[in-house]
Each structure stands twice: as structure tokens, then as C-alpha cells.
Structure 1
């Protein structure tokens, strides 16, 4: 199954493909229709897209072998980068991205007692 997730005013579309029962592949369609795969972070198993902004930057997630997701961005050329985490954070998500590339969301990790701690991030 393949689906579109977001489109910008230049006609760049991002979406995802699901193969088998759970594996996802992040995709970007150029305005002319050429499809390219967006890679996960090095060492991660899969990636998924969420939104593309006006300059062609794509935001989404990279998933490791424990299915822990971390918020990432892909440059218009397709290079993936982790959205910066603070020490101790092991997962992150975002809720909104502005065209000025301001990202808001959540990040978290475990505290000294082994409990899960989540905090808002910008």
C-alpha cells in the first residue's frame, strides 16, 4: 500500500509505502512524478514521512530495531538528519512545523528510577 501524506505549493509530495505487515518506506515525489526513497538514520531500519514545507524540506521519523522513533528532517537533496535531542532523550516526535522550520513537539527518556519522562521541545 502506498499513500500520500503531504504536498507543498511547489507540487512536491511526500508519503509512505507499507510492505508486508509493518515495514514502512519514506517516499518523495518530485513535481514531474519521479519517486525517490528517503533513507532512515544510519543503523535504523525504516523511515516514515509526515510533512513537506515550502522549501522542500521533509519532516518525519526514523525507526530503530526496537521501533523507537526519532524525529528527523530530510534536506531537499534527501540527506537525513536527526532533530537534536538533549542528553538522556531516546525518542522524539513533533506536532507542528512552520515554513520557517520551527519545530515543536515532544522528547523523552527514562528518569533515574526507570520511569518514562516526556517534555515539550521547540
Structure 2
């Protein structure tokens, strides 16, 4: 019984001190006087920032006897990826996103325009 008290008493004291310290530390507010207004704004708006990736994969199918063209296309796995990526921001509660036009320019492009862009 005495051994049990020797172990239980120190553990109980440590536990009580930890609980008391947590109540004390819970009421301490961090000093934000050194944080600039821009940093506060960035932290506030961070959850609304999104990454946008818009791309198309063009698969090349040539009947060509030129070994140089075939070797080049083989390096590309007979595919070319075109597109853009960028950032945007959620501007409404129903999920509307605002971004620059060049980021999503290929999303509404027709096949002939995508094929033309793949040659560039």
C-alpha cells in the first residue's frame, strides 16, 4: 500500500500542476503588435485562395516515314500537354471563383484551336 502511495502521489501532483498551468496559459493572448496589417489580411484571406490547373492533352498520330519526326514524338510519348495554371479566390458562399482569363483560356477552346496551340 505504501509503494502505491509513493507512485500515485507524485503523479497526482504533476497532473494537478499541469491542469493549473493550462488554465493560466489559456488566458494569455499572443502579442500581435509586431504583425503588419498585410500579414493579418493574408492570414485572414488564405482559406479563400485556390489553385487552378487548366490543360488539354493532344495525342499525335502521324503516318510519317521521317525518322527524326518519329523519334521526337516518341520522346513525347506521342502526346503534348498545353494549358495554364494559376491562382484564384473564392468570392461567394456558393463557390464562385475569380481568376485571370489566361488561366482558363483553353477550357472553352475548340479542338482546332487546341491543336494549333500544340504546334507552338
Q: TM-score, normalised by structure 1?
A: 0.22
Bigger Cα Rg: 2
Q: Compare the two structures and name the one with the higher strand fraction.
A: 1
